[in-house]
Amino acid sequence: MDQDDFWATIERARDLDGPLHEALETILAGMPAEAVVDYRQHYDEHKAALHRWDVWAAAYLIGGGCSDDSFMDFRAGVIAQGRECYRIALTDPDRLADLPLVQASASAGDDGEDIFYEDFTYAPSHAYKRVTGEDGLFAAQRERYPRPPEEVDMGEDFDFDDPAEMHRRLPRLAALFLDTPE
């Protein structure tokens, strides 16, 4: 499975009825175990690339706060939205403000739960177990890919609780989620 196959798998799952994580699990369960391992490796690489302060700040604004665990869920949700959402988050996280999902969250005043998608993370593990009868996805992944994804430079850390700083760095998201700039 290459990058295009990875994204095509997510798009196929998005085209099916029902919860996305269940659709993804079903699609992956129809593949050989090695393809499920490859999928998980691509997923981990994409998730690692999003591990940056500016992306975390976007998650913080959208979610009204964002712990370490919530940031993992946010990155899963960005990937679950597909290649274009991922590209936006990776190149200019402030442009996430254009996504209907994010705009709906701002309008509803909710905590962005639709883009914080923990269950999406577990679909490959469940699929691997369906294919092999075992819980060994991570062991199989480390065997096939002995080196974990490279850590990225997180960029400059900054104060997510400083509204002026958030308006400066993520003006569009801050306009959606913060009352007024300070």
What tens digit of pLDDT does each residue of 53-91 get? 999 999 999 999 999 999 999 999 999 999 999 999 999
Amino acid at 41: Q
CA–CA gap between residue 20 and residue 10 (Å, rounded)? 9
**Does the structure show a pLDDT above 80 at 109?**
no
Burial (CB < 10 A; 0-12, 13-18, 19+), residue 81, is buried
CA–CA gap between residue 104 and residue 118 (Å, rounded)? 20
Record the pTM: 0.94
The pLDDT score that the predictor gives to residue 112 is 75
The pLDDT score that the predictor gives to residue 93 is 98
